[in-house]
Amino acid sequence: MRRALADFARALLRASTWRLALRGLGRQPRRSALVIAAVAIGLSGLVFAMALQFGLVFQMAETAIRTEIGDLQVHASDWRESAPLEQRLAQAPALRALRALPLLRGVAPRLRGEGLALSPRASVGVRVLGIDVAREPSVTTLARLVASGAWFGVGERRVVIGEGLARRLRVGLGDKLVLSVQDARGDLTGEAFRVGGLLRPPSRGLDESVVLVRLGEAQCLFGVPGEISELALAVHQAEALEAAKRAAATALGAGARVETWRELQPLLVAMIAMFDQVGWVVYAAIFVAMAFGIANALLMSVFERTREIGVLMAIGMPPARMVAIVVAEALVTVALGVACGFALGFGAVWLVRDGIDLSAWSEGLRSFGVPTRLVPIVRSGDVWSPLWVATATALLASLWPALRAVRTRPAEALRRI
Amino acid sequence: MAVVEAKNVSKLYAVRGIETRALHEVSLAVGAGEFIALAGPSGSGKTTLLNLFGALDAPTAGVVEIDGQDLARLSRAQLAALRLAKLGFVFQAFNLIPVLTARENVEFVMELQGVPAAERRERANAQLAELGIAELAEKRPLEMSGGQQQRVAVARAIVSQPRVVLADEPTANLDSVTAEKLLDQMERLNRERGVTFVFSTHDSRVIERARRVVRLRDGAVVADEHVAP
């Protein structure tokens, strides 16, 4: 077996094997062109679909990370999202501990709480997010999402809310609203604010149910001066995420829990994994169909050339060489198909490199944090995976016809007309 | 010692359960340098015997040897190697590889033998020239006449310097002038280079030139005549 494989490998390295394979394809140019076209169309569709799919997933993750979560978050070790005020961190020591970490690009302290936003015309249950107005832009893009008004402006007691929440409360810029909350001691309290800016965020949650308040004013409102619920952190390089997590955990000590966005957003991670798995299913479906097409074409080719195969065997062609010629023919077919498929697929990606406008479905998409402009992204795996899978497909698809060719008895083959 | 030898060889074909006897206990030894014709009517078993000599088929009973080597003991790959090293074939229907030029067809056998590229080109050109078809070197089979294709087939068969050339009805598809020319060249190769030729034929022109004629009928040897040159 090992010797047969070595003979096959040697035969595959011979120039004449490839010359025969190439010329073999030219015998039935229309059939060869059809198989190559099938491979090319399948692959180009796959490349384009995978680029769009990854672009979608990447943008969903980016949206979540850049608009709210950050790359990492720090909470008190027993902090629970359902009771955000219960466990808190001391703001100043936490900031001091993280100040010297070179892997971090930004640190934004936040205080989270829940409450009721009341306007003269409506009331809505909201999440109150106290943010450091100066530090927050080093971690998230919230400040850049202001559609009208200002990122808090200069006056005191200003809030920034989403356009969606403004519609629900029926308020506009400069209008007053009251935040009624239960403070850390459990007492009901409230403060009046004016709407300083309106956001147009990509996710519905942020748009319709979050009120951004200055950190100091939020700490007063909830009665926790100098304390925070979390620190959102941004890293310089995504590859350094785990290293930054370890460094932050070491710097902050045992009382703090550092989590990556992957740990904080398991649903998103599961969705990304599911998209990848669906991608492999699509790969498999396309390449299995491709394999049948190639195998069929090769089988027809071998059948038509039975007599010629008999001649080749009569003149002493070794079986390994015969297999190599059939395999080479399949590889050439697939290589041409892959080349054309890549040209078409990447060409299509290039044509929509600025993104596909999905604003017609923006309302539905925002519920899932999907941006309204879908930009395709090609990963290196989108190039290499089809190459490997295509090569494996060609090898598998050619196996049957190759074995059929080798098993042909020369005398019988020579009798074929 | 015989170059090829059949010892009590029988061959049965089974088609849809019906057995047909193609050869029955045939024994025949072909010595080096012979120019021998296996003659007989259609169905007499001459092509079957030629296929057995050429290791293209296996006998139902009996032994076929090439240079004393029992073919039944060889694997598929070993049989291929043996054919490559010791046998050359010329077929009735020429059977050149259609996608290769005349020179490439001739070179191909040498390439399988591992002859270096420069040497095989030189030998292929010389062989084509010797058979008077040097000008066809770059033509593909479909661009050649039947006689030209058969000469290329002869060139392919002998360029690898085989011990024996097995020719199955080589003149059957040729006009008489072309057939005579081809036979002249084969005779010359036999005389000058000592190449052994075994023909399966019912063409009287071939039989007249053969120095030994083995006649078959119904799968058995009925006559084995040595003809004086």
Specify burial of residue A178 (Cβ count, 10 A radius: 0-12, 13-18, 19+): middle
Query: From B51, which residue of chain A is nearest by alpha-carbon distance?
Result: A411
> Residues of chain A with pLDDT > 90: what percent?
34
Contact B99 A409 (CB under 8 A): no
How far does the CA of residue B76 sit from the closest CA of chain A (Å)? 8
Which segments of A266-402 are extended strands (E)?
Answer: 356-357, 373-374
Which among B51, B81, B99 is the nearest to A24, CB-wise?
B99
pLDDT in tens, B73-127: 999 889 999 999 999 998 888 889 888 999 999 999 999 898 999 999 999 999 8
Q: How many CB atoms lie within 10 A of CB B8?
A: 12
Contact B87 A27 (CB under 8 A): no
* Residue A325, token pair as written in the block: 């010629």
Sorting pLDDT into bands at 50, 70 and 90, what band is A410? confident
Find, among B87, B149, B159, the residue nearest to B125 by Cα.
B159
* Side chain identity at residue A51, one-letter code: A
Burial A350-365 (b: 16+ CB within 10 A, else e): eebeeeeeeeeeeeeb
Q: Is the pLDDT of residue B15 over 80?
A: no
Q: How many CB atoms lie within 10 A of CB B106?
A: 31
Mean pLDDT of A365-382: 75
Contact B99 A311 (CB under 8 A): no
Sorting pLDDT into bands at 50, 70 and 90, what band is B214? very high
Residues β-bridged to residue A213: A130, A159
CA A15 to the chain's CA centroid: 42
Q: Is the pLDDT of residue B30 over 90?
A: yes
CA A169 to the chain's CA centroid: 35
Q: Is the pLDDT of residue A334 over 90?
A: no
A270 touches chain B (CB under 8 A): no
How far does the CA of residue A333 sit from the closest CA of chain B (Å)? 17
Q: Is the pLDDT of residue A375 over 80?
A: yes
Mean pLDDT of B21-36: 93
B83 touches chain A (CB under 8 A): yes
What pLDDT is stored for residue B49 in this prediction?
94
The DSSP symbol for A227 reads: E
A29 touches chain B (CB under 8 A): no
A311 touches chain B (CB under 8 A): yes
Query: From B94, which residue of chain A is nearest by alpha-carbon distance?
Result: A311
Q: Is the pLDDT of residue A1 over 90?
A: no
What pLDDT is stored for residue A365 in this prediction?
66
* ∠ Cα B118 B124 B127 (to 5°): 140
- For chain A, the average pLDDT equals 87
For tokens 């399948």, what's the residue?
A42
B229 touches chain A (CB under 8 A): no
What interface predicted TM-score (ipTM) does this complex get?
0.86
In this structure, chain B runs to a length of 229
Name chain B contacts of A21, Cβ cutoff 8 Å. Answer: none
- How many inter-chain contacts (A to B, CB under 8 Å) are there? 76
Mean pLDDT of A307-319: 87
Name chain B contacts of A319, Cβ cutoff 8 Å. Answer: 76-77, 80
Mean pLDDT of A147-169: 90
Sorting pLDDT into bands at 50, 70 and 90, what band is B8? very high
Query: From A26, which residue of chain B is nearest by alpha-carbon distance?
Result: B99
What pLDDT is stored for residue B213 in this prediction?
95
Q: Is the pLDDT of residue B27 over 90?
A: yes
Which among B57, B77, B112 is the nearest to A411, CB-wise?
B57
Name chain A contacts of B98, Cβ cutoff 8 Å. Answer: 27, 308
Contact B56 A414 (CB under 8 A): yes
B114 touches chain A (CB under 8 A): no
Q: Is the pLDDT of residue B64 over 90?
A: yes
Q: Is the pLDDT of residue A370 over 80?
A: no
What pLDDT is stored for residue A64 in this prediction?
80
Contact between B227 and B212 (Cβ < 8 Å): yes
What pLDDT is stored for residue A367 in this prediction?
62
Contact between A346 and A339 (Cβ < 8 Å): no
* Residue A335, token pair as written in the block: 């290589």
Distance CA A289, CA A125 (A): 53
Distance CA A339, CA A111 (A): 54
Distance CA B215, CA B198 (A): 13
Contact A316 B76 (CB under 8 A): no
Name chain B contacts of A24, Cβ cutoff 8 Å. Answer: 99
How far does the CA of residue A315 sit from the closest CA of chain B (Å)? 6
* Side chain identity at residue A175, one-letter code: D
Mean pLDDT of A281-290: 81
A312 touches chain B (CB under 8 A): yes
Q: Is the pLDDT of residue A305 over 70?
A: yes
* Residue A284, token pair as written in the block: 């498999």
How far does the CA of residue A289 sit from the closest CA of chain B (Å)? 29
Q: Is the pLDDT of residue A396 over 90?
A: no
Which among B57, B100, B112 is the nearest to A316, CB-wise?
B112
Which among A16, A312, A314 is the nearest to B54, CB-wise?
A314
Contact B81 A307 (CB under 8 A): no
Which segments of A92-143 are extended strands (E)?
Answer: 104-118, 123-131
Q: Is the pLDDT of residue A360 over 80?
A: no
Name chain A contacts of B87, Cβ cutoff 8 Å. Answer: 316
What pLDDT is stored for residue A212 in this prediction?
95
What pLDDT is stored for residue A366 in this prediction?
63
Distance CA B184, CA B206 (A): 10
Mean pLDDT of A108-115: 94
List Cβ<8 Å contacts ≥24 apart for B128-134.
B128/B102, B128/B103, B128/B152, B128/B155, B130/B155, B130/B185, B131/B155, B131/B185, B132/B185, B133/B102
Of the residues A18, A315, A322, A329, the best mutation for testing chain B's interface (the one with the most B CB atoms within 10 Å of its CB) is: A315
> Residues of chain A with pLDDT > 70: what percent?
97
Find, among A147, A178, A141, the residue nearest to A162 by Cα.
A147
Among A233-237, A413-417, B142-146, the least confident range: A413-417
Which among A24, A316, A409 is the nearest to B109, CB-wise?
A316
The answer to whether the pTM exceeds 0.80 is no
B151 touches chain A (CB under 8 A): no
How far does the CA of residue B184 sit from the closest CA of chain A (Å)? 23
Mean pLDDT of B209-219: 93
Q: Is the pLDDT of residue A82 over 80?
A: no
Distance CA A66, CA A61 (A): 8
Contact between B174 and B12 (Cβ < 8 Å): no
Find, among B211, B75, B89, the residue nearest to B162 by Cα.
B89
B94 touches chain A (CB under 8 A): no
Of the residues B46, B96, B99, the best mutation for testing chain A's interface (the one with the most A CB atoms within 10 Å of its CB) is: B99
How far does the CA of residue A310 sit from the closest CA of chain B (Å)? 9
Distance CA A264, CA A69 (A): 8
Mean pLDDT of A192-216: 91
Residues β-bridged to residue A124: A117
A403 touches chain B (CB under 8 A): no
What pLDDT is stored for residue A195 in this prediction?
94
Contact B99 A20 (CB under 8 A): yes
Question: Across A89-93, A130-134, A314-318, B223-227, which has the greatest mean pLDDT?
Answer: A130-134
Contact B81 A320 (CB under 8 A): no
Contact between B33 and B190 (Cβ < 8 Å): yes
Name chain B contacts of A313, Cβ cutoff 8 Å. Answer: 56, 80, 83
Name chain A contacts of B91, Cβ cutoff 8 Å. Answer: 311, 414
pLDDT in tens, A27-43: 888 888 988 998 899 88
> For residue B172, what are the CA distances in angstroms to B85, B107, B167, B175, B176?
27, 25, 11, 8, 9
Name chain A contacts of B113, Cβ cutoff 8 Å. Answer: 316
Name chain B contacts of A16, Cβ cutoff 8 Å. Answer: 108, 111
Distance CA A375, CA A58 (A): 9
Contact B77 A318 (CB under 8 A): yes
Distance CA A2, CA A345 (A): 39
